């Protein structure tokens, strides 16, 4: 969470860590801690190898004066410094630039600690700060961005543009408009975008947007890892749901593989039958098959062994459609009856051969 997004009664986790590590004893100390966090939100890095994001820099608090030193990735050849001096109820903050051992004053701003800090109960961190959105907008617009522009102008650097040079708060607002696939692709562009895309508040927002989890999570939750876990569970559930709604495995048809189940049966341990033409399986079935009767609504759907009564005789390989017409003599193939529509077929006196259907 950024200070520009914090509502009343809420503070960023980074501000809470800084406040606890600083051991503030006054409202001015608490205000300087907040100013330090605002500088880091805009990309400034505390100067010194011992500086950490969860603690204040060394020697930041002196006798009646506060000094903070920073560098910025867009102005690597120069450094910036803040000198904060309490003046009664106000705190004067002077921003300076140090380029080639030359110090130049850039901007000055005065803040009223009582407007942003309530130090009545210092042990309750969430109740110490107020109006964080107002202070974030005021401090960044009047001092931080002017300091960065003056540093680049003093170093004779060209104007920068693009997504990388945007402030962190603007980057996060843009990242929230992306889907997770686009965000992962964007994080692989450079280190700066990778660091910005790992913001825990960003992943918390995306997790609640994509999954709508009603469970209250602790504050130290790793939202990115939780998003990965939830996404894997969702994909697995969709895969099982897809498998449940697939059509059942039909009986295999020769020379016609099923697109859903290319190999529906495991390898047969027994030797397979020789290859026959389509609709021929070999054996006695091809000589005297028990095919369903045409017009029978039951046997046409459930074929079985034996013959069942029906309206029409069964179709068989040795069935003679001409000799079996009404009035014909089945023992004399090709001999038509008196009521036949077509002339008789010559048979030359040969008996019927049931195997002619396969020739």
Split at pLDDT 50, 70, 90, the class of 44 is confident
pLDDT(182) > 90:
yes
Using only C-alpha atoms, the chain has a radius of gyration, in whole angstroms, of 43
* Higher per-residue confidence, 198 vs 300: 198
pLDDT(336) > 90:
no
Q: Which residues pair with 253 in a beta bridge?
A: 256
Q: Of 349, 357, 352, 290, which Cα lies nearest the Cα of 323?
A: 352
CB 107 within 8 A of CB 25: no
pLDDT(330) > 70:
no
Q: Across the chain, what does the average pLDDT equal?
A: 73
Q: What is the mean pLDDT of residues 345-355?
A: 53
Give the range among 18-32, 121-135, 264-278 with minimum mean pLDDT.
264-278
CB 202 within 8 A of CB 172: yes
Give the range among 126-140, 161-175, 182-196, 322-336 with minimum mean pLDDT.
322-336
pLDDT(14) > 60:
yes
pLDDT(7) > 60:
yes
Report percent pLDDT > 70 for the chain.
65
Split at pLDDT 50, 70, 90, the class of 84 is very high
pLDDT(17) > 90:
no
Q: Which residues pair with 256 in a beta bridge?
A: 253
323: exposed, middle or buried (Cβ count in 10 Å: 0-12, 13-18, 19+): buried
pLDDT of residue 185: 92
pLDDT of residue 250: 53
- What is the distance between the alpha carbons of residues 149 and 28, in angstroms, rounded to a whole number? 28
pLDDT of residue 217: 78
Q: Please report the domains of the chain, with CATH numbers, ordered by start residue.
A: 3-154 (3.40.1000.30), 168-243 (1.20.1280)
pLDDT of residue 131: 84
pLDDT(153) > 70:
yes
CB 166 within 8 A of CB 172: no
Q: What is the mean pLDDT of residues 189-193?
A: 86
Q: What is the mean pLDDT of residues 85-101?
A: 89
pLDDT(19) > 70:
yes
- Where are the alpha helices (H) located in 93-222, listed in sequence order? 113-116, 132-139, 145-154, 168-175, 180-187, 191-197, 200-211
Q: What is the mean pLDDT of residues 18-40?
A: 89
pLDDT of residue 92: 93
Q: What is the mean pLDDT of residues 163-184?
A: 87
Split at pLDDT 50, 70, 90, the class of 161 is confident
Split at pLDDT 50, 70, 90, the class of 334 is very low
Q: What is the pTM of this model?
A: 0.57
Report percent pLDDT > 90 for the chain.
10
pLDDT of residue 358: 47
CB 75 within 8 A of CB 151: yes
CB 64 within 8 A of CB 41: no
Split at pLDDT 50, 70, 90, the class of 319 is very low
């Amino acid at each position: 969470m950024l200070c520009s997004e914090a509502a009343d009664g809420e503070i960023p986790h980074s501000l809470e860590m800084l406040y606890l590590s600083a051991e503030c004893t006054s409202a001015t100390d608490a205000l300087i801690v907040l100013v330090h966090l605002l500088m880091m939100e805009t990309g400034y890095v505390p100067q010194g190898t011992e500086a950490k994001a969860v603690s204040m820099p060394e020697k930041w608090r002196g006798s009646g004066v506060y000094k903070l030193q920073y560098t910025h990735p867009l102005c690597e050849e120069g450094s910036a410094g803040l000198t904060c001096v309490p003046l009664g109820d106000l705190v004067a903050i002077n921003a300076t630039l140090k380029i080639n051992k030359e110090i130049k004053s850039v901007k000055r701003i005065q803040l009223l600690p009582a407007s942003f800090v309530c130090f009545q109960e210092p042990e309750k961190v969430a109740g110490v700060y107020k109006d964080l959105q107002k202070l974030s907008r005021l401090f960044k617009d009047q001092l931080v961005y002017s300091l960065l522009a003056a540093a680049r102008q003093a170093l004779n650097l060209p104007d920068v543009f693009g997504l990388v040079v945007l402030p962190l708060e603007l980057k996060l607002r843009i990242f929230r408009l992306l889907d997770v696939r686009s965000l992962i692709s964007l994080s692989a562009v450079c280190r700066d975008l990778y660091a910005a895309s790992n913001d825990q508040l960003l992943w918390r927002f995306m997790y609640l947007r994509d999954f709508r989890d009603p469970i209250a999570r602790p504050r130290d939750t790793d939202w990115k890892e939780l998003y990965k876990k939830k996404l894997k569970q969702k994909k697995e559930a969709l895969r099982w749901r897809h498998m449940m709604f697939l059509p059942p495995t039909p009986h295999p048809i020769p020379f016609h593989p099923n697109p859903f189940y290319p190999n529906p049966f495991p390898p047969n341990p027994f030797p397979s039958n020789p290859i026959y033409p389509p609709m021929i399986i070999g054996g006695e079935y091809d000589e005297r098959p028990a095919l369903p009767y045409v017009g029978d609504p039951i046997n046409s759907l459930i074929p079985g062994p034996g013959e069942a009564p029906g309206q029409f005789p069964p179709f068989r390989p040795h069935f003679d459609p001409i000799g079996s017409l009404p009035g014909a003599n089945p023992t004399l193939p090709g001999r038509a009856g008196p009521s036949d529509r077509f002339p008789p077929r010559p048979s030359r006196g040969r008996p019927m051969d049931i195997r002619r259907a396969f020739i």
